[in-house]
Amino acid sequence: MFSFRYVLRETGQNLWRNILLAVATVVTVGVSLAMFGGFMLFQVAVDSATARWQDGVEFIVWMNTDAGTDEDSSVRNQLDESPGVERWEYVDRLQSYEEFKEFFEDTPEVLEIFTAEGVPPYYRVVPTDPDPDGVEELGSQFKGKPGVRTVTFAGDVIRDVQNLSNRAGRVLFIGSIVLLGASTLLILNTLAVAIGNRRPEIEIMRLVGATKWFIRVPFMLEGLVQGLLGAIVAMISNSLLRNYVIDQFSDADGLQLLAGFKVDDAAMLQVNLLVVAIAVGVAVIGSNLAVAMHLNE
């Protein structure tokens, strides 16, 4: 059984002897994982912001909180009878309040102001024709009706945000995959250099009967340390992205339609755990390849 202290000492010495390569590896792993994490965070934020506009919903009819049964029935009948409406969904006051709480869960001062009685119910409407002019004309028919508070349209803004997110997401995802491949090769190369530098010592250890794991573990742990340090870099980057970029979209006065553009704590934790898991996977693959290629007995 080899000494844990020995493993740590050898791992530290290996990292220090090849400090420039180790730093380059950590930075590359960190950048690739930050790109992947950024892709995940933006997808979560866009899905959150456009939740009301999924499945072809083009406009929303907001009712007054005190709208009566007759007023509500009038809107329903018009939706049912309109040939321009493919389908609609009613979201009652309690459901609307639950959505409201999800959107503003990170701003408790807003939640303290509103109660379920102050949040209006609404209708999500899917038109038969998504043409913007036709949607505008159809939705305008509900403006000014008794009991209707306002009508909001998805319009080009929401669709452009979704399309931009999809395109940017593909670029970030592909870029992160390429850099993760480069990270694996860098870990492999760093360990190959470390093994080459210690080749005489390794041969002596073999001659005196050291097991293959006694020789291999310090190098494998070195790769794991590089991967985990890269994950830490990525998590710091993702935290900054969330706090100083994504949250600014949600707080911007001119982007009311994207008020829900945010990443909650649970989603952030999931992304960070995934980043760590990928870092470990990359490190394990690179380390095992290096050991298999350069420490064969």
* Tokens matching residue 85: 């409406």
94 lies in the same domain as 203: no
pLDDT attached to residue 7: 65
255 lies in the same domain as 113: no
8 lies in the same domain as 124: no
Last-in-domain residue among 121, 153, 185: 153
115 lies in the same domain as 146: yes
State the Cα–Cα distance between residues 142 and 191, nearest whole angstrom: 68
117 lies in the same domain as 224: no
17 lies in the same domain as 164: yes
Last-in-domain residue among 122, 153, 184: 153
- Maximum mean pLDDT: which of 105-114, 212-221, 228-237: 228-237
pLDDT attached to residue 232: 96
Which phi and psi angles does 84 have, rounded to 5°?
Answer: -85, -5
42 lies in the same domain as 168: yes
Q: Into how many domains does the chain fold?
A: 2
Is this prediction's pTM over 0.75?
Answer: no
CATH number of the CATH domain containing 90: 3.30.70.3040
State the Cα–Cα distance between residues 31 and 57, nearest whole angstrom: 37
64 lies in the same domain as 195: no
139 lies in the same domain as 261: no
85 lies in the same domain as 163: no
Which phi and psi angles does 23 have, rounded to 5°?
Answer: -65, -45
147 lies in the same domain as 266: no
pLDDT in tens, 202-229: 777 777 776 777 777 788 888 888 899 9
Last-in-domain residue among 117, 136, 153: 153
Confidence tier at 297 by pLDDT (50, 70, 90): low
164 lies in the same domain as 280: yes
Domain range for 106 is 58-153
**For range 231-256, the mean pLDDT:** 78
Confidence tier at 102 by pLDDT (50, 70, 90): confident
209 φψ region: left (φ > 0), alpha (ψ -120 to 50), beta (else): left
